[in-house]
């Protein structure tokens, strides 16, 4: 803006300056020329008023008075071959007299002009010269004054332009700063310029409107992204659970079929071996071998029963058990026989806990399998296993993390240890049938898969948390049933 003002003034002010100077000079010069010409004519008329010819002294006296009374510097009268001139003049150099038509024409500082004077029949020529210097000085003074006025005007204009551009650009600069901050991600910044300039205030309002619209759109998009991400992670979780459930189901079906067939073979083996033992004399050397066959066949039968339990083909009925505490007590007495005395068992059992629709044998199997794993994780054969049984309530928020269990009243059985813990790879596969990290002959890898099968068949959930070197905690949630259903017997289909 300042530059534009400077450019406009650079073009206009010289034109204005020279135009004004020209007008003043022309006016001054014309006034000078008019004055001297009128003065000369009046003076000439004064000389020729008398009817008789003036004497030379009278003429000279008139010429002197002309010089003494005004700006006249040269006064002479040419009459025939005579030349009379004012005595006030320093000299009368006839050569100097060069008649002027315009002001300052011959650059000699004097405006010369001649006027005819008639004395009766004869004519004389009055030669007068006027000093141009005062008029030239006046023109110069006017020039200086005009120049000063123009320069002052230029200065005031530039200062005004600077002030105006500042007033105009300040809200615009603030608007630009705010816009940049918003563009760089500070969406919460509000735009308010408080400008008195209508257009800027309007612009600011429009940008603020756009910002608030964009913020709304942005918030909606962010919320949508978050909800989509949540839905996606939920979908992946469900997918993982489904894959796992499918894998377990197919293995369970296969294992159940195999166990059934093995059972079919084992039963006649046991039967015929028993018959053979009955027929054998007590001291027969074959007897110990046959007894070994019976033992091994029974062990194989135990294994196939575990496999059947995992495959949910045990066929046992479920009943509503009003209190799980006695069941767990009974299971713990078996566990105590299993676990070395160096291991501390801490029991925290609420009474009563339930009622729960369950298969009592399977619930006891849960306790035994979990405790067996817990004590096996205590590498040095010492440590603590903690068993907790309590009623609890699963909130809707917690239920979101479970695929089977619904929000509501539950029973929680927790078995925790401060043993070796599990790494993520082991945790990923721990429920797989026949997955074990134990040495050959030390574990079948069926313990947790049986636990999983039982819990699933009861409509419950298993939650495992474990850290290597810290320990493991396995929580089993089983849904509680209505008290009115006590004593009834029913099957739960999963």
Ligand X SMILES: Nc1ncnc2c1ncn2[C@@H]1O[C@H](COP(=O)(O)OP(=O)(O)OP(=O)(O)O)[C@@H](O)[C@H]1O
Token readout for 154 is 């230029």
Nearest distance from residue 469's CB to ligand X, in Å?
11
Please give the residues from 335 up to 394 whose contact with ligand X meets the rule CB under 6 A: 373-374, 377
Distance CA 485, CA 320 (A): 7
Residue 444 interacting entry, from Mg ion, ligand X, none, C-beta within 5 to 8 Å by type: ligand X
Of 22, 235, 295, 438, which one interacts with ligand X (CB under 6 A)? 438
Work out the burial of residue 322: count CB atoms within 10 Å of its CB; fewer than 13 is exposed, 13-18 middle, 19 or more buried: middle
Contact 350, 392 (CB under 8 A): no
Q: Which stretch binds Mg ion (CB under 5 A): 155-163, 197-205, 369-377, 482-490?
A: 369-377
C-alpha separations of 472 from 228, 363, 416, 418, 467 in Å = 33, 20, 6, 7, 7
Q: Rank residues 18 and 434 by Cβ distance to ligand X and give the closer one.
A: 434
Contact 411, 324 (CB under 8 A): yes
Distance CA 374, CA 368 (A): 10
Q: Rank residues 86 and 377 by Cβ distance to ligand X and give the closer one.
A: 377
Residue 430 interacting entry, from ligand X, Mg ion, none, C-beta within 5 to 8 Å by type: ligand X
Q: Tell me: does residue 449 bind ligand X (CB under 6 A).
A: yes
- The three-state secondary structure class of 455 is helix
Distance CA 114, CA 459 (A): 140
Q: Tell me: does residue 244 bind ligand X (CB under 6 A).
A: no
Which pairing describes strands 343-349 and 383-394: parallel, antiparallel, or unpaired?
parallel
Residue 419 interacting entry, from ligand X, Mg ion, none, C-beta within 5 to 8 Å by type: ligand X
Distance CA 251, CA 282 (A): 44
Contact 187, 174 (CB under 8 A): no
Buried b (16+ CB within 10 A) or exposed e, 5-26: beeebeeeeeeebeebeeebbe
> Position of tokens 């006296």?
61
Nearest distance from residue 222's CB to ligand X, in Å?
42
Residue 437 interacting entry, from Mg ion, ligand X, none, C-beta within 5 to 8 Å by type: ligand X
Q: Rank residues 94 and 348 by Cβ distance to ligand X and give the closer one.
A: 348
Kind and range of the H or E run holding 106: none
Q: Rank residues 193 and 436 by Cβ distance to Mg ion and give the closer one.
A: 436
Of 17, 445, 459, 463, which one interacts with ligand X (CB under 6 A)? 445
Nearest distance from residue 472's CB to Mg ion, in Å?
12
Q: Which stretch binds ligand X (CB under 6 A): 137-145, 211-219, 268-276, 428-436?
A: 428-436
Q: Rank residues 86 and 373 by Cβ distance to Mg ion and give the closer one.
A: 373
Q: Tell me: does residue 248 bind ligand X (CB under 6 A).
A: no
Task: Count interface residues toward ligand X (CB under 6 A).
Answer: 22
Q: Tell me: does residue 435 bind ligand X (CB under 6 A).
A: yes
Residue 460 interacting entry, from Mg ion, ligand X, none, C-beta within 5 to 8 Å by type: none
Contact 136, 25 (CB under 8 A): no
Q: What is the largest CA-CA distance in the chain?
A: 205
Q: Tell me: does residue 421 bind Mg ion (CB under 5 A).
A: no
Residue 195 interacting entry, from ligand X, Mg ion, none, C-beta within 5 to 8 Å by type: none
Q: Which stretch binds ligand X (CB under 6 A): 84-92, 316-324, 346-354, 442-450?
A: 442-450
Contact 386, 414 (CB under 8 A): yes
Q: Rank residues 33 and 307 by Cβ distance to ligand X and give the closer one.
A: 307
Residue 104 interacting entry, from ligand X, Mg ion, none, C-beta within 5 to 8 Å by type: none
Nearest distance from residue 442's CB to ligand X, in Å?
7
Q: x-or-dash pattern for ligand X, window 385-424, by CB under 6 A?
A: --------------------------------x-xxxx--
Of 204, 309, 314, 373, which one interacts with Mg ion (CB under 5 A)? 373
Contacts of residue 373, defined as CB under 8 A and 6 or more positions apart, other chains included, come to 415, 447, 448, 472, 474
Q: Which stretch binds Mg ion (CB under 5 A): 7-15, 141-149, 367-375, 419-427?
A: 367-375
Please give the residues from 136 up to 165 whose contact with Mg ion meets the rule CB under 5 A: none
Nearest distance from residue 373's CB to ligand X, in Å?
3
Contact 453, 382 (CB under 8 A): no
Task: Count interface residues toward Mg ion (CB under 5 A).
Answer: 2
Alpha-carbon torsion 176, 179, 185, 186, what sign?
positive
Q: Tell me: does residue 444 bind ligand X (CB under 6 A).
A: yes
Report residue 73 CA to chain centroid gap. 90
Q: Tell me: does residue 430 bind ligand X (CB under 6 A).
A: yes
DSSP 63-114: HHHHHHHSSEEEEEEEETTEEEE-TTSS---GGG----SSTTTTSSSEEEEE
Please give the residues from 437 up to 466 whose contact with Mg ion meets the rule CB under 5 A: 447
3-state SS, 311-344, equals CCCCCCCEEEECCCHHHHHHHHHHHHHHCCCCEE
Nearest to 74 by CA among 86, 65, 83, 84: 86
Nearest distance from residue 436's CB to ligand X, in Å?
3
Distance CA 486, CA 489 (A): 9
> Position of tokens 């850290």?
467
Q: Which stretch binds ligand X (CB under 6 A): 191-199, 334-342, 349-357, 434-442?
A: 434-442
Q: Which spans of this chain sit near ligand X (rule: CB under 6 A)?
A: 373-374, 377, 417, 419-422, 426, 430, 435-438, 443-449, 472
Q: Which spans of this chain sit near Mg ion (rule: CB under 5 A)?
A: 373, 447
């Amino acid at each position: 803006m300042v530059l534009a003002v400077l450019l406009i003034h650079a073009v206009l002010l010289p034109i204005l300056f020279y135009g004004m100077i020209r007008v003043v000079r022309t006016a001054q010069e014309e006034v000078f020329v008019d004055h001297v010409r009128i003065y000369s004519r009046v003076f000439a008329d004064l000389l020729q008023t008398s009817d008789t010819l003036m004497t030379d002294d009278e003429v000279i006296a008139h010429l002197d008075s002309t010089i003494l009374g005004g700006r006249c510097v040269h006064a002479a009268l040419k009459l025939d071959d005579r030349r009379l001139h004012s005595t006030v003049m320093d000299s009368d150099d006839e050569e100097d007299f060069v008649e002027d038509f315009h002001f300052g024409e011959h650059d000699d500082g004097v405006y010369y002009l001649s006027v005819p004077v008639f004395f009766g029949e004869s004519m004389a020529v009055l030669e007068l010269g006027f000093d141009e210097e005062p008029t030239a000085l006046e023109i110069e003074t006017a020039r200086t004054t005009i120049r000063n006025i123009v320069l002052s005007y230029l200065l005031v204009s530039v200062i005004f332009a600077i002030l105006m551009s500042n007033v105009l650009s300040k809200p615009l600069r603030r608007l630009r700063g705010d816009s940049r901050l918003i563009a760089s991600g500070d969406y919460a910044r509000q735009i308010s310029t408080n400008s008195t300039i209508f257009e800027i205030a309007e612009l600011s309002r429009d940008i603020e409107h756009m910002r608030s619209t964009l913020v709304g759109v942005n918030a909606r998009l962010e919320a949508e992204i978050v909800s989509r991400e949540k839905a996606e992670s939920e979908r992946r979780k469900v997918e993982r659970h489904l894959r796992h459930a499918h894998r377990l189901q197919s293995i369970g079906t296969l294992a159940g079929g195999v166990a059934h067939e093995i059972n079919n073979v084992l039963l006649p083996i046991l039967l015929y071996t028993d018959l053979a033992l009955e027929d054998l004399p007590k001291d027969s050397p074959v007897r110990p071998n046959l007894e070994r066959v019976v033992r091994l066949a029974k062990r194989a039968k135990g294994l196939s029963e575990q496999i059947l339990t995992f495959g949910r083909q045990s066929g046992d009925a479920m009943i509503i058990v009003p209190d799980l505490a006695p069941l767990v007590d009974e299971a713990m007495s078996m566990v105590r026989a299993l676990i070395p005395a160096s291991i501390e068992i801490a029991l925290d059992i609420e009474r009563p806990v339930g009622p729960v629709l369950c298969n009592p044998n399977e619930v006891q199997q849960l306790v035994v399998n979990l405790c067996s794993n817990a004590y096996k994780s205590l590498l040095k054969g010492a440590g603590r296993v903690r068993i907790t049984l309590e009623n609890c309530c699963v909130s809707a928020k917690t239920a979101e993390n479970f695929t089977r269990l619904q929000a509501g009243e539950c029973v929680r059985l927790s078995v925790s240890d401060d043993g070796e813990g599990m790494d993520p790879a082991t945790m990923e596969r721990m429920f797989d049938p026949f997955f074990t990290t134990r040495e050959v002959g030390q574990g079948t890898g069926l313990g947790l898969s049986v636990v999983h099968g039982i819990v699933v068949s009861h409509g419950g959930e298993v939650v495992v948390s474990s850290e290597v070197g810290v320990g493991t905690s396995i929580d089993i949630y089983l849904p509680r049933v209505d008290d009115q259903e006590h004593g009834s017997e029913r099957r739960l289909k999963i």
